[in-house]
Amino acid sequence: MNVYDSRQIENMMRQAGYQRAGSADKADLIIVNTCAIRDKAEQKLYSLLGRLAPIKQRNPDVVLAVGGCVAQQEGKALLSRVPYLDLVFGTHTLNRIPELVARVISTKSRIVDVGIHVIEDPLPTENARGNGKEVSRFVTIMRGCDNFCTYCVVPYVRGRETSRAPDRIIAEIEALVGEGIREVTLLGQNVNSYGNREGLITFPELLLKVNEISGLSRIRFTTSHPKDLSDALIESFVSLEKLCPHIHLPVQSGSDAVLKRMKRRYTRDMFSERVAGLREKCGDIALTSDIIVGFPGETESDFQLTLDLIQEIQFDGLFAFKYSDRPNARAAGYMAKVSEKEKARRLQVLLDCQQAITLKKNRALEGTEQVVLVEGVSRMSDTRDPQWTGRSLNNKIVNFTIPEKIAPSEEDWVGRQVKVVIYKGLLHSLQGKMLA
């Protein structure tokens, strides 16, 4: 979502007469867009601002701005902590950024704007492809969240849940397809509840409309809350030919006691039943998830239940994190904190467990044919053995060679879907050869 917001910011500044600088040293304006979901992300901000301080010292006219979730969370405190910072803007201020930058320059003042407003829509749709070689883009369909999970800061920094009008979403995707984009990932904190508050169409109905866009090859989405995963959405994986067979379904823990303290509003059994429903309808669907280890009060027994769930479900991949207290989130006040040493141990055990599963699943794909959307030349490529890269329908990175007699060029192949025979499954990718 921050990638999407950052593109919107860049588009607006281009319209205001700016262009991307080659480096921070050459910039007149430096904007840092931030995430507050974990303490580590927040600390990275202060580290980066420290590295930018010498630039500001050499050229006081450079405008330094911080936006996004940390800006929304900290507000004026950021100006106090970083005396050379010029502008702090929140998550609901995107449309006013050019105006705020102009005010900083004209008044030589330091400005904070973190008010929670209704974000005007449409946002700019001049969503240029940048380097001209991209094939996939993010498209935000809703903002904010109404769930208030006890560990999460999102409702406090991005506000309550609001959905964009379906016609604006479709228009944006059609514009992207006109620029050469072939795959879109629809974004929301909980896409399953799209349109509920406003009485719009449902998320499966939106997917149907996106599926009908001519020239679009693939549809993905994230994130899907397990408690709201409907039968209609499961059926969409069967009925919509452009919807890729991959779903990210964050479970967070395998312990019902922990899930209850997290206020996730589902049980382990409910999660397993939903997964069984997905696999019954779409047997080849890839499933990824999020896990938090070391939530306050998590016992060794709770942790073992999470490991058991990982073995039971056999996820294709996991994003796993150590719990960290976040401002305003209710769990920050919970007692029985797990030590950093123990959180680190549990995280490593969990990662080791999942890596073995992921490697087994990837090796099981050896000898199969995968349809790959070509993204470009692989970073692992060399002139003697050129390799290309893309993603399979179930969202696995595939690095592959093209038969010599085809004599490929990047312009000819980027954005195409090709069949690749997999000859090796690795932990983080697959290797293969394109069929002639």
CATH number of the domain residue 175 falls in = 3.30.750.210
* Claim to verify: residue 360 and residue 422 sit in the same structural domain: no
Final residue of a domain: which of 364, 388, 422?
364
Final residue of a domain: which of 215, 244, 273?
244
Give how far the C-alpha of residue 124 lies from the chain's centroid of Cα atoms, to the nearest Å.
20
Q: What is the pLDDT of residue 312?
A: 98
Work out the pLDDT band at 410, boundaries 50, 70, 90: low
User: What mean pLDDT do residues 57-71 have?
Assistant: 95
Work out the pLDDT band at 377, boundaries 50, 70, 90: confident
* Claim to verify: residue 272 and residue 161 sit in the same structural domain: no
Tokens standing for 31? 């904007």
Residues 6+ apart with CB under 8 A from 87: 63, 64, 65, 66, 100, 101, 104, 110, 111, 112
| pLDDT for residue 116 is more than 80 | no
* Claim to verify: residue 218 and residue 260 sit in the same structural domain: no
Tokens standing for 229? 């995963």
- What whole-number distance in Å separates Cα of residue 288 and Cα of residue 249? 6
- CA 117 → CA 72, 86, 96, 148, distances in Å? 12, 22, 11, 19
Final residue of a domain: which of 90, 113, 136?
113
Could you tell me if 429 and 399 are in contact, meaning their C-beta atoms sit under 8 angstroms apart? yes
| pLDDT for residue 129 is more than 50 | no
* Claim to verify: residue 165 and residue 108 sit in the same structural domain: no
Query: What is this structure's pTM?
Result: 0.91
Average pLDDT of the chain to the nearest whole number: 93
* Claim to verify: residue 217 and residue 306 sit in the same structural domain: no
* Claim to verify: residue 358 and residue 382 sit in the same structural domain: no
- What whole-number distance in Å separates Cα of residue 269 and Cα of residue 267? 5
Looking at the DSSP assignment, which residues form a beta bridge with residue 237?
none
Q: What SS3 class is residue 242? A: coil
Please indicate, yes or no, if residue 120 is contained in any of the structural domains: no
* Claim to verify: residue 268 and residue 323 sit in the same structural domain: yes
Rounded (5°) CA angle 60-33-172: 125
User: What mean pLDDT do residues 351-375 have?
Assistant: 98
Backbone angles phi, psi at 411, to 5 degrees: -60, -30
- What whole-number distance in Å separates Cα of residue 125 and Cα of residue 430? 35
For the chain, what percent of residues have pLDDT higher than 90?
Answer: 86
Work out the pLDDT band at 119, boundaries 50, 70, 90: low
- What whole-number distance in Å separates Cα of residue 334 and Cα of residue 344? 20
* Claim to verify: residue 224 and residue 327 sit in the same structural domain: no
* Residue found under tokens 């019902």: 256
Q: What is the pLDDT of residue 413?
A: 83
Please indicate, yes or no, if residue 330 is contained in any of the structural domains: yes
Predicted confidence (pLDDT) per residue in 289-318, tens digit: 999 999 999 999 999 999 999 999 999 999
Domain count, the chain: 4
Terminal-to-terminal C-alpha distance of the chain: 38
Determine the structural domain holding residue 343 and report its residue range.
Answer: 252-364
Please indicate, yes or no, if residue 118 is contained in any of the structural domains: no
* Claim to verify: residue 129 and residue 221 sit in the same structural domain: yes
